[in-house]
């Protein structure tokens, strides 16, 4: 269907097919279309169902079918297993018009997928993370480590944050500081059928951010805080976004 070779259609061809998978994929970035199209194709081939038959399954049966498919790969490829599980659940929700497949994915739950298995990888302790913060070498480095650790957001999402996302709360010295992470900040939300989520940062991260902002008062007025060079002030084109 979507994979090239072996007599199958390329993944792009499904976008013109008019089926539920094509509709589900059409507004996603090209890379996401490729990855999720390949995942769905492999899943449907393995279980011997069409996309239409899959979304007509009862909720519990569809959930168990997905779990039985990703369960063998959860130890060796946990990130891939989580991505496939989330993508298939998103497809089911889209195709059924809102039915949510609920997985017991909390630690110790029936559908829990651990990121670190049998000692492969290393999760630092809270003390070790704070030691890294102290040795970051700069105030900005300390702020980055603190925000990543306390908020749990992805590094790519952090790069999309700017001063305006935190300014009102920083000026009021609010602790904890609430971050609203939208799809424009974290593009991965599109794959989870989420428009936004909230997370918080605590005193250490807030203080580091505020101290860094106070030192770097090179901002211009306006909703979009940008830094201008002398030449580009005349044209109004920003040199760079003032990224946290």
- Residue-wise pLDDT for 128-187, tens only, equals 888 888 888 888 888 889 998 999 888 888 888 888 888 899 888 888 999 999 888 888
Domain layout of the chain by residue ranges: 1-123, 138-218
Q: Which residues contact 201 (CB under 8 A, 6 or more apart)?
A: 146, 147, 150, 151, 176, 177, 179, 209
pTM: 0.48
Least confident of 14-28, 87-101, 123-137, 221-235: 221-235
Asked whether the predicted pLDDT for residue 241 surpasses 60, the reply is no
- Average pLDDT on 93-107 reads 86
Residue 229 has a pLDDT of: 41
Residue 59's pLDDT band, with cuts at 50, 70 and 90, is very high
Asked whether the predicted pLDDT for residue 239 surpasses 60, the reply is no
Percent of the chain at pLDDT > 90 equals 22
- Name the nearest CA neighbour of 87 among 218, 189, 16: 189
Peptide bond into 176 cis (omega under 30): yes
């Amino acid at each position: 269907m979507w994979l090239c070779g072996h007599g199958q259609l390329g993944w792009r061809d499904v976008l013109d097919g008019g089926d539920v998978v094509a509709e589900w994929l059409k507004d996603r970035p090209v890379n996401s279309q490729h990855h999720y199209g390949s995942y769905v194709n492999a899943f449907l081939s393995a279980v011997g169902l069409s996309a239409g038959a899959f979304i007509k399954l009862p909720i519990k049966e569809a959930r168990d079918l997905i779990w039985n498919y990703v369960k063998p790969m959860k130890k060796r490829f946990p990130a891939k297993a989580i991505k496939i599980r989330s993508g298939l659940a998103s497809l089911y929700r889209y195709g059924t018009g809102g039915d949510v497949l609920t997985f017991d994915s909390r630690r110790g739950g029936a559908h829990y997928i651990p990121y670190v298995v049998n000692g492969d990888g290393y999760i630092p302790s809270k003390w070790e993370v704070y030691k890294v913060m102290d040795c970051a070498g700069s105030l900005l480095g300390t702020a980055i480590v603190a925000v990543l650790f306390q908020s749990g957001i992805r590094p790519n999402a952090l790069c999309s944050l700017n001063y305006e996302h935190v300014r009102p709360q920083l000026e009021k010295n609010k602790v904890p500081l609430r971050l609203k992470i939208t799809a424009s900040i974290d593009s991965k939300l599109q794959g989870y059928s989420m428009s936004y989520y909230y997370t918080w940062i605590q005193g250490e991260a807030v203080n580091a951010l505020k101290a860094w902002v106070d030192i770097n008062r090179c901002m211009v007025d306006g909703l979009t805080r940008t830094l201008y060079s002398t030449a580009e002030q005349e044209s109004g084109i920003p040199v760079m976004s003032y990224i946290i």
